[in-house]
Amino acid sequence: MDVKYTAHAVSSGGGRDGVVRSDDGIIDLQLKMPQALGGPGGATNPEQLFAAAYSTCFHGALRLVARNEKVKISDDATVEAAIGIGPDDTSFAITATLTATLPGLDQAQAEDLVAKAHQVCPYSKATRGNVDVTLIAKV
């Protein structure tokens, strides 16, 4: 692979109860364990950051697929990522549900575009075989 960009971030402090910063300073966030996992909440957490990244990346892949197929996607289209975390056999694992809302398309066309975006999205490729990903297309 010919790498065109590399992002850098550093976690310090207590991991889930610490700080994460990008090398350019754009990301500079306090992290707290969510209340659902026994923490205090009140700050972001890795699952929220992953949800933000995955939804954005998948949205871009969806638009790429639509453009290649000459399908117009509304500016009102959205992609929501719901990232779940829970115990597995060895520690914890995550799940992902991606919900693409594509107003103005018919259901079959929306489902086709979402399935194709899942094949090309770098985050979908990275999670394939490791994370249970559910795809939902809404019109």
Give per-residue pLDDT as tens, 14-55: 889 999 999 999 999 999 999 999 999 999 999 999 999 999
Give per-residue pLDDT as tens, 74-93: 999 999 999 999 999 999 99
Q: Is the CA virtual torsion 56, 124, 30, 26 positive or negative? A: negative
Instruction: Note the pTM of the prediction, 2 decimals.
Output: 0.95
pLDDT at 59: 98
Separation between Cα atoms, residue 99 and residue 97, nearest integer Å:
6
